[in-house]
Amino acid sequence: MAKKLYRKIKAGYRGTKHLVKKYGEKLICVRYVYDPEKNIKMKTVELVEEIENWTPNRQNIPWNKIMHIKVEYGEKYIGQLIRSSGGTWNKSKKYWELNYREVIALGLESRIINN
């Protein structure tokens, strides 16, 4: 089995001008596939079919990022839970600090303070 060779050119670059005229803004790139065993060259195009708004389900937050957690005065159980999971109390700012993995595991996402 012979190895196929590939070449990829972004829309608008040399070798794609006539395809940009044909497909317009929908053209993303042109690929050339060379198969030396069959002595053929294939030209393929990548096109945009549909564009719509999208919001990711989850922010890309590293698991070890320290999050600031709001706990109201008197919620001793929550404080003990955070402390037992490795959290620390920030005395000057008056919030708990805990890594994101533990925040998710404890179900405390709604208590995260946006800083």
Q: Round the average pLDDT of the chain to a whole number and report it.
A: 90
- Please check whether residue 61 lies inside any domain of the structure: no
On whether residue 59 sits in a domain, the answer given is no
φ, ψ (nearest 5 deg) of residue 74: 100, -10
- pLDDT tens digits along 70-108: 999 999 999 999 999 999 999 999 999 999 999 999 999
Q: Report how far apart, in Å, the C-alpha atoms of 82 and of each of 4, 23, 78, 97 are.
A: 56, 56, 6, 8
pLDDT for the residue 27 = 96
The pLDDT value recorded for residue 4 is 79
Quote the domain boundaries for residue 20: 5-47
pLDDT exceeds cutoff 60 at 1: no
> Same domain, yes or no, for 41 and 70?
no
Could you tell me if 107 and 71 lie in one domain? yes
Written as six digits, the tokens of 12 are 């608008």
Element (H, E) at 83: helix 76-84
pLDDT on residue 56: 66
Domain count, the chain: 2
Assigned domain for 54 exists:
no
In a domain, 60, yes or no: no
Q: Are 35 and 59 in contact (CB under 8 A)?
A: no
Residue 53 lies in a domain: no
pLDDT recorded at residue 54: 77
Residue 58 counted as domain residue: no
Same domain, 37 and 9: yes
